[in-house]
Amino acid sequence: MSKRKTKFMCKDCGYESLRWMGRCPGCGEWNTMNEEVEVVRKGPRGAFQHTDEVQQKAVPISQVETIEEPRVETELGELNRVLGGGIVPGSLLLTAGDPGIGKSTLLLQVSSLLANQNHRVLYISGEESIRQTKLRAERLGVLSDELFIYAETDLERIHHTIDEINPAFVIVDSIQTIHHPEVKSAPGSITQVRECTAELMRIAKTKNIAIFLVGHVTKDGQIAGPRILEHMVDTVLYFEGERHHTYRILRSVKNRFGSTNEIAIFEMLQSGLKEVLNPSELFLRERSQGGAGSTVVASMEGTRPILVEIQALVTPSSFNYPKRMATGLDQNRVSLLMAVLEKRMGMLLQAQDAYIKVAGGVKLDEPAIDLAVLVSIVSSYRDSAAGLSDCFIGEVGLTGEVRRVSRIEQRVQEAAKLGFERAIIPSSNLGGWDYPEGIQVIGVETVSDALKVGFSQ
């Protein structure tokens, strides 16, 4: 027996209320309160949950026996690195991204690779029929007897199918289409997404099955559904990219079994996604020769250094308030660096519009890119090109000093590998490591020193 209870829940933050309100008290957004039907179960378990589990007892942590479970590596080395070395059995992974970005394509390719390694894989499609999935699999060359396709949205039937097939990996595409038979809300609602994810998490942990969930995103780029969804899963992967570009970035923003902020880069082809093994060369391939406003920085994405080009365009403004626009960077950070140039270097940028862009569609958010952004702004303002073979690395403080950054050795080695002749870095990063051959490492203490070195050629 169960009792139904009606409540209102915010779709953005999960705030609950007994009555509808136009504005959510939790996050302050308007028209986000949706009616949900809560099912209060009087029994300890649901209708289709198994009761053959042994209740665990609390034990001292010093007496817990640990077993090192081997990770399952796919043939996609980029994906293995983002996951921290491979897929952990029994983990729950969430992959989110814009519509048409390639989430289903990536997971179907991963399913094929795992099936070719004699792992039984169950691909559950809630958005396509079996024939539609087969047509896409034929286009990608995904055919294996160990890969099972199942088109279903009922969680009870999915549970029974998992018990029947006993797969090692399960892909659910997507979690917003699955519905719990005991919850009367519509599929995709906050209650349905939370209850279905909780049940799939229990299946993953008790049966030691790695489950991939595909999640939709909102117009703001956030994962649709309650925020608790990201807390429940073990790993959150964002699939990023632009429709007009063929390159896709898989970014790890949460990983309980590895490093966060790792990225993998793929190229979208007719036959599927292909790994990009040298992203630095890719992002610098179309760099203009000797153009003003262009600099190169060695940014760290997780454990990997990547060289990217930063472009700036500074032009006189025709309005009372100059425009500041940044693509791939924090706009507030750009305004801060321009204020440093005005105060410490005496440059009159108050009447200048500034447009800053990271070439290639990459998003950078670490402080080590400050010096390269600042030099690119000065280069465009002076209409004078910085050194074509120079790489700028460093954080800029409010007093105009250039501060040390982490992993400077890996950054400089990546620059030397691609043929750069000079690396302008903070003076505090000079000691304690061996400089690579073929590149001159120059330390600077202030922004003024960096500009003198950068425009000396």
CATH number of the domain that 296 lies in?
Answer: 3.30.230.10
Quickly tell me which residue has 């996951």 as its tokens.
83
Q: Are residues 250 and 314 in the same domain?
A: no
Most confident of the following: 12-26, 30-44, 80-94, 182-196: 80-94
Q: Indicate whether 70 belongs to any domain.
A: no
Report long-range pairs for 275-278 (Cβ below 8 Å, ≥24 apart): 275/76, 275/77, 275/78, 276/78, 276/247, 277/77, 277/78
pLDDT at residue number 211: 97
How many Å apart are CA 443 and CA 137, to the nearest integer?
Answer: 53
Tell me the two tokens of residue 164. Answer: 């029947």
Segments forming the whole domain that contains residue 33? 2-41
Handedness of CA 451, 325, 284, 266 (dihedral sign): positive
Domain co-membership, 310 together with 440: yes
Confidence of residue 46 (pLDDT cuts 50, 70, 90): very low
Rg of the chain over all Cα atoms, to the nearest angstrom = 26
Q: Residue 9 phi/psi, 5° resolution?
A: -130, 140
pLDDT digits (tens, 9 = 90+) for 196-249: 999 999 999 999 999 999 998 876 667 766 667 888 999 999 988 776 678 888
* Domain end (from 257, 277, 297): 277
What pTM did the predictor assign?
0.78
* pLDDT value of position 44: 47
Among candidate residues 85, 77, 140, the one with its CA nearest the CA of residue 111: 140
Can you tell me the distance from the alpha carbon of 111 to that of 105, in angstroms, rounded to the nearest whole number?
10
- Alpha helix (H) ranges present in 209-299? 228-232, 279-283
**Residue 221: what pLDDT?**
66
Nearest CA to 172 out of 240, 229, 248 is that of 229
For residues 32 and 170, state if they share a domain: no
Decide if 69 is inside a domain. no
Gap between the Cα atoms of 91 and 233, Å rounded: 8
**Pick from 277, 296, 324: which residue ends a domain?**
277
Give 207: exposed, middle or buried? Use CB within 10 Å, 0-12, 13-18, 19+.
Answer: middle
pLDDT at 51: 42
355 and 307 share one domain: yes
Examine the domain organization and report whether 376 and 312 are in the same domain: yes
Structure tokens at 127: 């958005």
Distance between CA atoms of residues 248 and 246, nearest Å? 7
Binding residues for ATP: 97-104
Task: Kindly report the number of other CB atoms within 10 A of residue 380's CB atom.
Answer: 23
Does residue 47 lie within any of the structural domains?
no
The pLDDT tens digits of the residues spanning 360-381 come to 878 898 999 999 999 999 999 9
Helix (H) or strand (E) holding 241, with range, is strand 235-241
Q: Which two tokens stand for residue 216?
A: 């939709």
Is residue 189 assigned to a domain?
A: yes
> What CA–CA distances, in Å, run from 197 to 46, 233, 250?
14, 8, 22
Residues 6+ apart with CB under 8 A from 201: 92, 211, 232, 233
* DSSP letter assigned to residue 106: H
Whether 66 maps to a domain, the answer reads no
Contact of 26 with 10, CB cutoff 8 Å: yes
Query: Residue 297's beta-bridge partner residues?
Result: 308
Binding residues: 97-104
Instruction: Assess whether 118 and 226 both reside in one domain.
Output: yes
- Domain annotation covers residue 129: yes
Q: What SS3 string covers 283-344?
A: HCCCCCCCCCCEEEEEEEECCEEEEEEEEEEEEECCCCCCCEEEECCCHHHHHHHHHHHHHH
Q: Is 370 inside a domain boundary?
A: yes
Helices (H) and strands (E) in the chain, counts: 11, 21
| CATH value at residue 119 | 3.40.50.300
- Contact by Cβ (8 Å): 241, 102: yes
Same domain, 197 and 319: no
Residue 223: per-residue pLDDT: 73
Same domain, 264 and 392: no
Closest CA to 215 of 231, 201, 229, 234: 229
Same domain, residue pair 82 and 214: yes
Domain count of the fold of the chain? 3
Averaged pLDDT, 263-281: 88
- Asked if residue 61 belongs to a domain, the reply is no
Arithmetic mean of pLDDT, 138-163: 93
One domain for residues 303 and 446? yes
pLDDT score for 4: 59
The answer on 429 and 329 residing in a single domain is: yes
The total number of residues shown for the chain amounts to 457
Q: Do 218 and 85 share a structural domain?
A: yes
